[in-house]
Amino acid sequence: MRVMVMVKATKNSEADAKPTLELLEAMGKYNEELIKAGVMLAGDGLRASSMGKRVRFTGNGGKKTVLDGPFAETKELVAGYWIWQVKSMDEAVEWVRRCPDPMPDEESEIEIRPLFEAEDFAEQFAPESRARAAEVYSDVARAAKA
């Protein structure tokens, strides 16, 4: 199963505070462990929401509105992420337990959520649509490795 592991934002990450050298080195070692174990598929830190945008959809094919950051409710924002391939949610939790504290000197959270897989939509997708979706994801994976 694939999961997205999200490091939730904090006051300091929203202030675009840079991590210490010690934290960068600890995270680097942790990422190396994830890669060697075949768990980590992707991951990165995100800049503060003040540098971001949101596009709001009104529904029913309505207009789209672009909103500039920063965005309120820091606890609802994401400061970084990984995409992992794990056997179970329990395995993902065990990996997170080994993670260096991503926000030293602040209370922080890491959220783990399973990603949808093509087979989750078996009833909605015709076989040719599933095949096309698999092809597109393969192209994306090849491009990411290039």
pLDDT by residue (tens digit) across 7-64? 999 999 999 999 999 999 999 999 999 999 999 999 999 999 999 999 999 887 789 9
**Whether pLDDT at 3 is above 80:** yes
User: Taking a C-beta distance cutoff of 8 angstroms, is the pair 62, 28 a contact?
Assistant: no
Which residue is it, tokens 């992707």? Answer: 42
Token pair recorded at residue 84: 């992992």
How many helices and strands, by DSSP H and E, does the chain display?
A: 4, 6
DSSP state of 135: H
Share of the chain above pLDDT 90, in %: 71
CA distances for 42 relative to 68, 89, 144, angstroms: 26, 18, 9
pTM summary value: 0.84
pLDDT in tens, 92-122: 999 999 999 999 999 999 999 999 987 777 7
Query: SS3 for 115?
Result: coil
